[in-house]
């Protein structure tokens, strides 16, 4: 029951959270909501896969839908203690889906479209829009969970192992590396990246717990820029409330952490890159028959990104899905 | 076939004429030999970096006597450095530059500069090439800037030709400007006084008894500072002159910033001293008699007084009247008539 | 399992060292700061001696650049072209070295001011430096020489209430005092030079160190320091230690 207290405090504390900006690394994992099965954070402008929002809704549904994610960052435009901060806003709209393949396999896919803006200290605005990096993941269900059981007596475990690939469908423009310390203001990483992931879930009656960890291996793009490898893990808890047979409400609350290695250019470490961010998150999903509407937000609790030169602010997301 | 022979000749003739069709003869530039008198110490100036040439020297002389180097177009180097007085400013304690502004130091002689390593009374610069910058940019002397002087010269066609003749590359620029002036000064060697000829056994010259006595006293009592046949060791010393309270010229200390250099000035060469009155860095003595009187009983003690002028409680140099007379006679033998009338260094 | 094999393949290919050939340029940015803050002319800064400075001028001469590569080979920039004057008020704070042989450079050495050898080269050796110095207030005309550092502005302190001018001019004193100093900085990472690659070495020059470095110089005690046998060498040492490398940006050198 102690857990409930902690969870409650976290939930209350994160009620006013808003979306965060892209972290130094294009692949930051933000687990804002519904990351029951796996958090895959790529909300950073580059890959725009969902950051900690993840690939799934958290209720282990198969679905397809549309999701919007907004993130806000502050980046220091200059190397000095009194250099100005610039505001960066990363926006992603994604087509996302989760479909089963046979009994034990599952595929997640995300196709993002990005539109990011930032305003420099002299008032000059920069906008980039375009397709982001598409991602496809495959999972193998090691421990099977009964998908339809809502009322069950015993706690049920699930374990999934899988991996995936992120394709360089989004443009990486080395020009964007100039003028600011935040190298993540991009539409894509320009590289093929490879992921390994594992999810563990625990369900009992109508509440659940999930723990997810994944690691992304990033490769060098053709501009000889390589974003640092990334490790994410999330802990999430949720409870579903049923109203009749058609409606359900699932609030969620959790914490997530992202760790980035330093980026490399021409094989040499780029200074002021890498770091970590630790978030608290909360959200809620409303279900009506096969429709789902979700809203979530994340707020950083502790961070040290790019030697303090980039600050993640708030992140938030909203999605509309059709469950299949 | 015939044309093949005449064409190149015609072309050669055409190429030798300038745009106006006037035929200009530009002879070959020649290296000049810098005199190295046998009774002098080795030359300090690095002649290989800036070897004096015929056109370089001529250009340097022209610049030396050109008022363009000053703000009012009138004050040239030669204005204060008059040849007949061994390039000092005759009769002037201090010189007046532009706008009649007066300086605080007496114009020193320009002779044998190639044999010295520090220039100006306080050794402000240790390269002869760079020295002209000091009087040119001094507000009370020529009051100009290097850039502006060069602009004036660049606008002058005659100077353009002369610079190009004297120097292979660069035309009218700072480097060549300074090198030309340096070449002029390097060539100014004063080494044919009566004393020199006596010392080198030339022309059967001999000194009178008085002069010989003076030489012997000089070597005993003066030559520790006024050493060698340059008559200066180039060092900075405080010779006991009571500072002029209106000026309080710290001398070498103005350059080094060290209080241990207070009131020290460069030992001047005594060559042509009979012509270079008034004497001392501030021109306070009008005659050599006054100078010797000073050394005898006018020397003032101070923390930086040169040790050679202090013997226990006795200050200065002990000289009686006879000794002073013969010394002055000797100093007269240092006058080099050839130098002060040498047409090569003359303005006209 | 497919992903696993893919992962193995991607991990086995290491970054090939970028091949570097030819000659290229190196840009060195001298970013002036005051103790961690950007140095802005007209802004005020208080130092550890509780003196508040408002700076109106910061110019200095940097020279004799040498780059050392990963093997220890030293490339010395030609002396004749190797003297540069940086000036905050004109915005000239970048030094561009041309025709640097391709290589991976790990450290940078340079001097502050003009060495005695250059003075003794006479007119031939000064080249354009004299003219440049005259137009940037870096000529010490009274000694036909150079100010290595020209640091001016106004200051106040606990005992000096009205803004009072300060002028720090530091240079060699003829032949009697040589204030030329050098500093060697490790770049922290490699600067890649080739015919296509121009690294930008971003240095921070902490001007606060001039008066407040290992030697403390009090303006309240003396606000105009030009030819001081005691203080000039201390300021020269302070100035030589005011540089650090903030980062190296490898690329085509286009912008930063």
The pLDDT, as a whole number, for residue B10 is: 52
Whether residues B118 and C174 touch (CB distance < 8 A) is answered with yes
Alpha-carbon separation of residue A259 from A80, A277, B38 (angstroms): 25, 7, 83
Residue whose C-alpha is closest to residue B291's, from B299, B306, B281, B279: B279
Instruction: Look up the ipTM and state it.
Output: 0.79
The pLDDT, as a whole number, for residue B348 is: 85
Please check whether residue A80 touches C, CB under 8 A: yes
Residue whose C-alpha is closest to residue A297's, from A95, A1, A10: A10
How far is it, in rounded angstroms, from Cα B274 to Cα B286? Answer: 11
How far is it, in rounded angstroms, from Cα B223 to Cα B209? Answer: 19
Interval A8-21 mean pLDDT: 36
Q: In this predicted model, which residue has the larger pLDDT, B291 or C128?
A: B291
The pLDDT, as a whole number, for residue B162 is: 95
How far is it, in rounded angstroms, from Cα A108 to Cα A212? Answer: 15
Count CB neighbours of A114 within 10 A.
26
Whether residues C142 and B124 touch (CB distance < 8 A) is answered with yes
Residue whose C-alpha is closest to residue C147's, from C87, C222, C212: C87
Whether residues C247 and A269 touch (CB distance < 8 A) is answered with no
CA torsion sign for B44, B48, B50, B55 is positive
Stretch (H or E) spanning C68: strand C52-69
The pLDDT, as a whole number, for residue C66 is: 97
* Subunits with 3+ C-beta pairs closer than 8 A to B: C
Interval B22-27 mean pLDDT: 52
Q: In this predicted model, which residue has the larger pLDDT, A185 or B63?
A: B63
Q: How many residues does chain C have?
A: 256
Whether residues B50 and C124 touch (CB distance < 8 A) is answered with yes
- Two structure tokens written together for C1: 């399992």
What are the tens digits of pLDDT across the range A83-118? 888 889 999 999 999 888 888 898 989 999 999 998
pLDDT range class, residue B83, cuts 50, 70, 90: very high
Measure CB to CB from residue C123 to each of B147, B182, B254 and give the nearest one: B182
The pLDDT, as a whole number, for residue B165 is: 94
Name the minimum distance, in Å, from the CA of C122 to any CA of chain B.
Answer: 5
How far is it, in rounded angstroms, from Cα A265 to Cα C208? Answer: 33
pLDDT range class, residue B330, cuts 50, 70, 90: very high
Whether residues C144 and B182 touch (CB distance < 8 A) is answered with no
Interval B232-238 mean pLDDT: 95
> 3-class DSSP state for residue C46?
strand
Please check whether residue C247 touches A, CB under 8 A: yes
What are the tens digits of pLDDT across the range A42-56? 334 444 444 455 566
The pLDDT, as a whole number, for residue A62 is: 79
b or e along A143-168 (b: 16 or more beta carbons within 10 Å of the residue's beta carbon)?
A: eebeeeeeeeeeebebebbbbbbbbb
Percentage of chain A beyond pLDDT 70 is: 77
Whether residues C134 and B146 touch (CB distance < 8 A) is answered with yes
Count CB neighbours of A109 within 10 A.
19
Determine whether C215 is exposed, middle or buried from the number of CB atoms within 10 Å of its CB (0-12, 13-18, 19+): middle
The pLDDT, as a whole number, for residue A77 is: 80
- Two structure tokens written together for B15: 């190429």
Residue of A79, A105, A266 for testing the chain C interface, max C β-carbons within 10 Å: A266
Please check whether residue A267 touches C, CB under 8 A: yes
Q: Which residues of C touch B124 (CB under 8 A)?
A: 142-145, 174
Measure CB to CB from residue C177 to each of B129, B179, B256 and give the nearest one: B256
Please check whether residue A174 touches C, CB under 8 A: yes
- Two structure tokens written together for A112: 């993002």
Q: Which residues of C touch B150 (CB under 8 A)?
A: 131
Q: In this predicted model, which residue has the larger pLDDT, A240 or A15?
A: A240
How far is it, in rounded angstroms, from Cα A45 to Cα A39? Answer: 17
Name the minimum distance, in Å, from the CA of A118 to any CA of chain C.
Answer: 17
> 3-class DSSP state for residue B39?
coil
Ranges of residues in chain C with a pLDDT under 70 are: 1-18, 255-256
| Mean pLDDT estimate for chain A | 78
How far is it, in rounded angstroms, from Cα A41 to Cα A28? Answer: 5
pLDDT range class, residue A57, cuts 50, 70, 90: low
For β-strands B310-311 and A125-131, DSSP reports them as unpaired
Measure CB to CB from residue A271 to each of C7, C197, C247 and give the nearest one: C247
How far is it, in rounded angstroms, from Cα B89 to Cα B84? Answer: 10
In the predicted structure, residue B344 carries a pLDDT above the cut 50: yes
Count CB neighbours of B93 within 10 A.
19
For β-strands B314-315 and C37-38, DSSP reports them as unpaired
Stretch (H or E) spanning A211: strand A207-217
The pLDDT, as a whole number, for residue B20 is: 43
For β-strands C224-225 and C164-170, DSSP reports them as parallel
Measure CB to CB from residue C31 to each of A79, A81, A266 and give the nearest one: A79
Greatest mean pLDDT among A75-89, A134-148, B68-82: B68-82
Task: Give strand pairing partners of A236.
Answer: A210, A254
Whether residues C122 and B131 touch (CB distance < 8 A) is answered with no
The pLDDT, as a whole number, for residue C19 is: 80
Name the minimum distance, in Å, from the CA of C217 to any CA of chain B.
Answer: 16
Name the minimum distance, in Å, from the CA of C19 to any CA of chain A.
Answer: 10
Measure CB to CB from residue C174 to each of B46, B123, B182 and give the nearest one: B123
What are the tens digits of pLDDT across the range B96-135? 898 889 999 999 999 999 999 999 999 999 999 999 999 9
The pLDDT, as a whole number, for residue A36 is: 29
- A244 φ/ψ angles, rounded to the nearest 5 degrees: 70, -160
- By CA distance, what is B170's nearest residue in C? C127
Determine whether B114 is exposed, middle or buried from the number of CB atoms within 10 Å of its CB (0-12, 13-18, 19+): buried
Indicate yes or no: pTM above 0.90: no
pLDDT range class, residue B15, cuts 50, 70, 90: very low
Count CB neighbours of C21 within 10 A.
10
pLDDT range class, residue A199, cuts 50, 70, 90: confident
The separation between CA A203 and the C-alpha centre of its own chain, rounded to angstroms, equals 22
Percentage of chain B beyond pLDDT 90 is: 85
The separation between CA A189 and the C-alpha centre of its own chain, rounded to angstroms, equals 16
Instruction: Look at A271-275, B139-143, B171-175, B230-234 and tell me which has the smallest mean pLDDT.
Output: A271-275
How far is it, in rounded angstroms, from Cα B266 to Cα B238? Answer: 9
| HEC secondary structure over C140-186 | EHHHCEECCEEEEEEEECCCCCCCEEEEEEECCECCCECCCEEEEEE
Residue B322 makes CB contacts below 8 A (sequence gap 6+) with none
Dump strand ranges (E) for B218-267. Answer: 236-237, 265-266
Q: Do chains C and A touch (3 or more CB pairs under 8 A)?
A: yes
b or e along B278-304 (b: 16 or more beta carbons within 10 Å of the residue's beta carbon)?
A: bbbbbbbbeebebbbbbbbebbbeeeb
């Amino acid at each position: 029951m102690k857990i409930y207290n902690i969870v409650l405090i976290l939930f209350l504390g994160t009620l006013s959270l808003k979306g965060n900006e892209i972290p130094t690394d294009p692949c930051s994992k933000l687990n804002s909501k519904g990351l029951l099965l796996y958090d895959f954070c790529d909300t950073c402008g580059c890959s725009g896969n969902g950051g900690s929002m993840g690939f799934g809704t958290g209720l282990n549904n198969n679905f397809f839908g549309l999701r919007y994610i907004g993130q806000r960052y502050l980046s220091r435009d200059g190397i000095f203690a009194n250099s100005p901060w610039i505001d960066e806003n990363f926006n992603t709209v994604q087509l996302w889906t989760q479909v089963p393949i046979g009994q034990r396999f599952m595929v997640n896919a995300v196709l993002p479209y990005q539109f990011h803006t930032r305003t420099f200290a002299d008032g000059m605005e920069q906008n980039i829009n375009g397709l982001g990096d598409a991602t496809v993941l495959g999972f193998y269900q090691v421990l099977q969970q009964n998908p339809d059981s809502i009322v069950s007596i015993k706690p049920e475990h699930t374990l999934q192992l899988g991996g995936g690939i992120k394709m360089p469908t989004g443009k990486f423009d080395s020009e964007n590396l100039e003028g600011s310390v935040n190298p993540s203001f991009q539409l894509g990483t320009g590289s093929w990246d490879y992921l390994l992931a594992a999810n563990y879930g625990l369900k009992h009656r109508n509440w659940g717990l999930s723990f997810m960890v994944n690691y992304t291996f990033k490769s060098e793009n053709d501009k000889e820029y390589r974003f640092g490898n990334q490790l994410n893990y999330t802990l999430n808890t949720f409870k579903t409330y049923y109203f009749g047979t058609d409606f359900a409400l699932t609030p969620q609350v959790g914490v997530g952490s992202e760790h980035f290695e330093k980026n490399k250019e021409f094989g040499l470490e780029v200074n002021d890159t890498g770091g970590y961010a630790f978030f608290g998150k909360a959200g809620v999903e409303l279900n009506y028959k096969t429709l789902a509407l979700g809203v979530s937000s994340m707020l950083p609790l502790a961070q040290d990104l790019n030697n303090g030169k980039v600050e993640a602010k708030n992140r938030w997301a909203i999605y509309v899905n059709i469950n299949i | 076939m015939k044309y093949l022979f005449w064409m190149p000749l015609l072309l050669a003739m055409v190429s030798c004429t300038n745009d106006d069709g006037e035929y200009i003869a530009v002879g070959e530039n020649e290296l000049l030999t810098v005199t190295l008198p046998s009774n002098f110490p080795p030359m300090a100036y690095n002649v290989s970096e800036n070897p004096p040439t015929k056109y370089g020297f001529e250009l340097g002389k022209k610049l030396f006597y050109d008022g363009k180097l000053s703000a009012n177009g009138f004050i040239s180097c030669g204005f204060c450095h008059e040849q007949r007085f061994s390039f000092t400013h005759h009769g002037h304690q201090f010189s007046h530059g532009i706008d009649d502004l007066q300086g605080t130091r007496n114009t020193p002689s320009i002779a044998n500069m190639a044999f010295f390593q520090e220039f100006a009374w306080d050794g402000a610069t240790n390269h002869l090439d760079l020295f002209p910058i000091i009087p040119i940019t001094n507000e009370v002397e020529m009051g100009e800037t290097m850039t502006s002087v060069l602009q004036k010269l660049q606008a002058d066609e005659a100077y353009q030709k002369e610079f190009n003749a004297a120097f292979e590359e660069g035309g009218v620029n700072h480097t060549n400007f300074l090198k030309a002036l340096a070449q002029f000064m390097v060539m100014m060697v004063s080494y044919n006084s009566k004393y020199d000829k006596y010392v080198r056994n030339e022309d059967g010259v001999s000194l009178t008894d008085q002069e010989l006595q003076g030489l012997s006293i000089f070597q005993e009592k003066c030559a520790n500072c006024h050493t060698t046949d340059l008559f200066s060791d180039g060092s900075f010393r405080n010779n006991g002159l009571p500072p002029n309270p209106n000026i309080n010229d710290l001398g070498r200390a103005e350059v080094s910033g060290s209080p241990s250099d207070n009131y020290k000035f460069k030992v001047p060469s005594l060559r042509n001293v009979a012509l270079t009155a008034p004497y001392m860095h501030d021109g306070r003595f009008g005659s050599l008699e006054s100078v010797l009187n000073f050394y005898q009983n006018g020397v003032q003690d101070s923390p930086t007084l040169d040790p050679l002028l202090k013997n226990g409680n006795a200050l200065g140099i002990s000289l009686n009247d006879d000794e002073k007379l013969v010394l002055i006679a000797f100093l007269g033998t240092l006058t080099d008539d050839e130098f002060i009338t040498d047409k090569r260094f003359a303005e006209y | 399992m497919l992903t696993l094999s893919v992962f193995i393949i991607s991990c086995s290919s290491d970054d090939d060292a970028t091949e570097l050939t030819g000659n290229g340029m190196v840009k060195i940015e001298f970013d002036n700061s005051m103790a961690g803050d950007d140095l802005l002319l007209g802004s005020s800064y208080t130092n550890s001696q509780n003196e508040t400075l408002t700076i109106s001028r910061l110019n200095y001469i940097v020279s004799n650049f040498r780059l050392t590569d990963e093997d220890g080979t030293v490339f010395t920039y030609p002396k004749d072209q190797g003297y540069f004057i940086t000036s905050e008020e004109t915005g000239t704070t970048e030094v561009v070295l041309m025709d640097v042989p391709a290589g991976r450079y790990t450290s940078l050495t340079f001097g502050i001011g003009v060495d005695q050898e250059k003075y003794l080269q006479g007119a031939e050796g000064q080249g354009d430096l004299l003219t440049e110095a005259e137009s940037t207030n870096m000529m010490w005309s009274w000694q036909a020489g150079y100010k290595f550092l020209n640091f001016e502005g106004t200051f106040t302190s606990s005992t000096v209430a009205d803004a009072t001018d300060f002028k720090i001019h530091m240079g060699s004193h003829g032949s009697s005092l040589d204030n030329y100093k050098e500093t060697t900085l490790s770049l922290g990472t490699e600067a890649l030079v080739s015919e296509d690659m121009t690294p930008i070495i971003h240095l921070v020059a902490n001007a606060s160190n001039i008066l407040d470095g290992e030697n403390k110089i009090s303006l309240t005690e003396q606000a105009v320091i030009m030819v001081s046998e005691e203080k000039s060498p201390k300021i020269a040492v302070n100035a030589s230690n005011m540089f650090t490398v903030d980062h190296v940006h490898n690329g085509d050198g286009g912008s930063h």
